Amino acid sequence: MNEDRESYDQSITIFSPDGRMYQVEYAREAVKKGSISVGMIFKDGVMLMVEKRQISPLLIPESVEKIFQVGDNIGFSTSGLIADARTLVDYAREEISSYKIRYNEDIQVDELVKRVSNIKRIYTQYGGIRPFGVSFLIGGIDDNGVHLYETDPSGAFKKYHAGAIGENNLEAAAIFEDNYKENMKLADAISLALYAITKALEKKIDEINVEIVTITKKDKFTHIDENQIKNLKKKPKWKK
């Protein structure tokens, strides 16, 4: 049985007898080991938040980028292999530029999500390559409203009001299912996201441990600094 599994492990183009593609599943495992990232649509736009792991006291935190601006009104937060993420982020930026040149208008968020997801899918179909070991939460605003998408290594994507990827993401998602409400204020959204990450990781999470970006029509792509997070966050009694 182990020998059979190993033979299916060694090619991305072969399904196992029970319909699985092990290389894609391994890529998903890489995502699960990555820093947790959450996203949430709030009253004025969409928020992306990612845990900042301090793996060494010698590390300069600003050198580790986990949330990327790909357009004026679009941001990607990542979990998994950051090197893979940078490759896809560069591709997304090129697609935004080429779309603007060709059609003289901004690309819609769902169209960009489809294009990035298609590249991920292509890398599950050909021998000699491997799937991208990264998932994205993609937040953005366009003429059709506010959007939050999740993409995974298989090329699948889904749209959410609130979502989580990375380490213990299911625990964070369960918190959102019990507590999320439409048209939340930013302070409530930040508070809930911090609470969800704290519960998911079972350790203290505050403004020092996270990076937050908001995307709104007024301010577009904006980083929220530690002092702003401290002033915005509240401590309501969320459901456990």
pTM for this prediction: 0.92
Contacts of 57 (CB under 8 A, 6+ apart): none
Residue 55 vs residue 236, higher pLDDT: 55
Average pLDDT over residues 52-81: 87
pLDDT of residue 6: 60
Question: What distance in Å separates the CA atoms of residue 133 and residue 12, rounded to the nearest whole number?
Answer: 13
Residue 56 vs residue 137, higher pLDDT: 137
Question: What distance in Å separates the CA atoms of residue 159 and residue 169, rounded to the nearest whole number?
Answer: 16
Any idea which of 24-38, 72-86, 178-192, 221-235 has the lowest mean pLDDT? 221-235
Question: pLDDT tens-digit profile of 104-126?
Answer: 999 999 999 999 999 999 999 88
Question: pLDDT tens-digit profile of 124-136?
Answer: 988 888 999 999 9
Which is it for strands 157-159 and 145-151: parallel, antiparallel or unpaired?
Answer: antiparallel
pLDDT band of 233, cuts 50, 70, 90: low
What residue has token string 């980028």?
A: 65
Any idea which of 14-28, 49-63, 143-157, 214-228 has the lowest mean pLDDT? 49-63
**Do residues 167 and 201 make contact, with C-beta atoms less than 8 angstroms apart?**
yes
pLDDT of residue 4: 52
Q: Across all residues in the chain, what is the average pLDDT? A: 90
Residue 73 pLDDT more than 80?
Answer: yes
What residue has token string 């999500």?
A: 113
Give the number of other Cβ atoms within 10 Å of residue 204's Cβ: 9
Average pLDDT over residues 14-18: 82
Question: pLDDT tens-digit profile of 148-173?
Answer: 999 999 999 999 999 999 999 999 99
Domain boundaries, the chain: 34-232
Residue 1 pLDDT more than 50?
Answer: no
Backbone angles phi, psi at 106, to 5 degrees: -75, 145
Question: pLDDT tens-digit profile of 61-70?
Answer: 777 789 999 9
Residue 15 pLDDT more than 80?
Answer: yes
Report whether CATH 3.60.20.10 matches the domain 34-232.
yes
pLDDT of residue 21: 86
Q: Report the alpha-carbon angle 185-71-79, nearest 5.
A: 70
Average pLDDT over residues 221-233: 82
Average pLDDT over residues 170-194: 94
- In the chain the first and final C-alpha atoms are separated, in Å, by 42
- Express as a percent the part of the chain with pLDDT over 90: 72
Chain centroid, CA 43 distance in Å:
20
Residue 5 pLDDT more than 70?
Answer: no
Question: What distance in Å separates the CA atoms of residue 11 and residue 25, rounded to the nearest whole number?
Answer: 13
**Can you tell me whether residue 116 is helix, strand or coil?**
helix
Return the closest-CA partner of residue 82 out of 47, 55, 115, 42: 55
CA distances in angstroms from 79 to 142, 167, 188, 237, listed in the order given = 24, 8, 24, 28
